[in-house]
Chains A and B, each alone.
Chain A
Amino acid sequence: MKSVSVMLGLVAALALPGCKIVKTAEEGETAAAVAGEAGDDARIAALLDKTYDAELLPLIAAKALPVADLRTALAAGLEAAGAAHGNKGSGEGAAWNFAVKGEGKVVEANLTSRARKAMLDTDGDGAADLTLQLGPVIKGSSLRDVAPFYRFGDFRDQIEFAKLARALNDRASAGLQVPEGELTGKTVSFLGTVDLKASGDPWLVTVVTLSVAP
């Protein structure tokens, strides 16, 4: 028993620099009852349980444009394309976010990084024209910002709002089945989101569903 508590103490001490100790909710205490930052994780988890499958994935599926169609829309200007098909993140200078779907051949893949990526050729010219994020580390907040129902004003501050983006990324990444072995040369189809600050920005797609042709 004593050694267990010593171990726990050691683990806590080791964990200190990088992590913060989050107070867990007491028995019988509802998530909403834990105000402030201590209750963030529980609140965000509850929000995800309520909205991820029921609202976010259907929204992305319904709004997703095929790659070529989104490129055509963007050719007329980012603002016009965004107003017609996208959603703008909260704040001045925030990106436009679009749902997108497509299929292509993997030209290059990096599966050794913690932020795994596959570069895809979707128009058949042999060159990669977009990058799929395959996790486990996912950059950006386009899953959050593509949805008009996640609004900054509804959150305590930028930390809580950022935690939502991270939780959404983690949920998406956990749901991806990335096959073992070489991806290059394989054909994959995907559904995801992309955020753009300029119409010519390279596409970094956050993937919510992925299938690899055998």
Chain B
Amino acid sequence: MLNRRTFIATGTLALVVASMAKAQEKGTIAIITPSHDNPFFKAEADGAAAKAKELGFEVMVLVHDDDANKQNELFDSAIAAGVKAIILDNAGADASVAAVQKAKDAGIPSFLIDREITATGVAVSQIVSNNYQGAQLGAEEFVKLMGEAGDYAELIGKESDTNAGIRSKGYHDVIDQYPDLKMVASQTANWSQTEAYSVMESMLQANPGIKGVISGNDTMAMGAWAALEAAGRTDVIVVGFDGSNDVRDSILKGGIKATVLQPAYAQAQMAVEQADKFIAGGSTGVEEKQLMDCVLINADNAAKLETFALSA
């Protein structure tokens, strides 16, 4: 364990040294996100990295795996490396405030994407998808597909992620206005595809009359759909959230019915642009908290979706 830790530390140091040696006058931007296993976070990191390189920065791409302690260590590394800015999709709305403050105290501005933190005036920007608006869009489509009636189940995301709760509230804000729609099961599957598969299996056993499933994200929707397929229940209406290529393909094949696109790639790029402006002139020119609207994706427009961006 100690050896492994040392190895990681040395590895990080090597990465830092390498990027610093290569760094031009503009310096390095750290890009810290959850694990790239979820293509959504990979799209964020790719979008930010592409924009940073385009603007002449070096990049340091790190993942915190939704572990606030690990995130804290990554912030230490980034601060020690003297990065010019940090682009962050954080590991917890409360837990991340201290890390972002620590960077600020060290003179390093942070630009948050995707998830809010519970404090303002600590990060320079917080650019988040309007998850509530997006969830309402998904729920409206779900209600329509369900014909305003029937039993349904909800898959909820990871509790530490503020967006899990926001999406669930947005869903219920719409769905609960229809008294003939009855939620018969509701459970977290922690954003995980494999977990959603087993949760869906047991939900289906307990509630064979389920007509629809509304899921807090696309990876869980994929897991649920796989379980439904395995049970021969492809009649069940599934709606996800994120706008991943996997769900796009499922929609085009007539599987999952809809999802909601968060413009992750564009959002990450916007954060880097604001960082660049802030580094150069001390201001982004925009307010700290910024919302980006989400877009409903269904069979009508799914073909235009690629890597969390919708072509015109």
Q: Which of B130, B166, B173, B289 has most chain A Cβ within 10 Å?
A: B130
Describe A's contact surface by its main secondary structure: loop
- B102 contact set on A, CB distance < 8 A: none
- B133 contact set on A, CB distance < 8 A: 141, 158, 162
Interface string of A153-185 (1 = CB under 8 A from B): 100011101100010000000000000000000
**Is there an interface contact between A92 and B148, defined as CB atoms closer than 8 Å?**
no
Q: A18-B176, A162-B173 are in contact. Are A157 and B116 (CB under 8 A)?
A: yes
Q: Is A35 an interface residue (CB 8 A)?
A: no
- Interchain nearest-CB distance for A135 vs B (Å): 10
Q: Is A139 an interface residue (CB 8 A)?
A: yes
The distance in angstroms between the C-alpha atoms of A153 and B287, with both chains bound, is 8
Q: Is B291 an interface residue (CB 8 A)?
A: yes
Interface string of A74-101 (1 = CB under 8 A from B): 0000000000000001111111000000
Q: A159-B132, A166-B173 are in contact. Are A94 and B291 (CB under 8 A)?
A: yes
- Interchain nearest-CB distance for A155 vs B (Å): 9
Q: Is A5 an interface residue (CB 8 A)?
A: no
Q: A141-B133, A158-B132 are in contact. Are A93 and B263 (CB under 8 A)?
A: yes
Q: Is A39 an interface residue (CB 8 A)?
A: no
Q: A92-B291, A92-B293, A141-B133 are in contact. Are A158 and B128 (CB under 8 A)?
A: yes
Q: Is B178 an interface residue (CB 8 A)?
A: yes
* Those of A43-101 within 8 Å (CB) of chain B: 89-95
Q: Is A17 an interface residue (CB 8 A)?
A: yes
- B130 contact set on A, CB distance < 8 A: 91, 158
The distance in angstroms between the C-alpha atoms of A166 and B136, with both chains bound, is 11
When A and B form their complex, what is the total count of cross-chain residue pairs whose Cβ atoms lie within 8 Å? 64
Q: Is A113 an interface residue (CB 8 A)?
A: yes
- B177 contact set on A, CB distance < 8 A: 114, 136-137
Q: Is B307 an interface residue (CB 8 A)?
A: no
- A153 contact set on B, CB distance < 8 A: 287, 289
Q: Is A19 an interface residue (CB 8 A)?
A: yes
* Those of B169-218 within 8 Å (CB) of chain A: 169-170, 172-179, 183, 186
**Is there an interface contact between B116 and A92, defined as CB atoms closer than 8 Å?**
no
Q: Is A203 an interface residue (CB 8 A)?
A: no
The distance in angstroms between the C-alpha atoms of A89 and B130, with both chains bound, is 12
Q: Is A152 an interface residue (CB 8 A)?
A: yes
Contacting residue for B290 out of A19, A89, A91, A139, CB 8 A: A91
**Is there an interface contact between A18 and B172, defined as CB atoms closer than 8 Å?**
yes
**9 nearest CB pairs, A to B:** A91-B291, A93-B293, A162-B132, A92-B292, A137-B177, A158-B132, A18-B176, A17-B183, A114-B178
18 contacts across the A-B interface (CB closer than 8 A): A18-B176, A20-B169, A91-B290, A92-B291, A92-B293, A93-B263, A93-B293, A94-B293, A113-B148, A114-B177, A137-B174, A139-B136, A152-B291, A158-B128, A159-B166, A162-B133, A162-B136, A162-B173
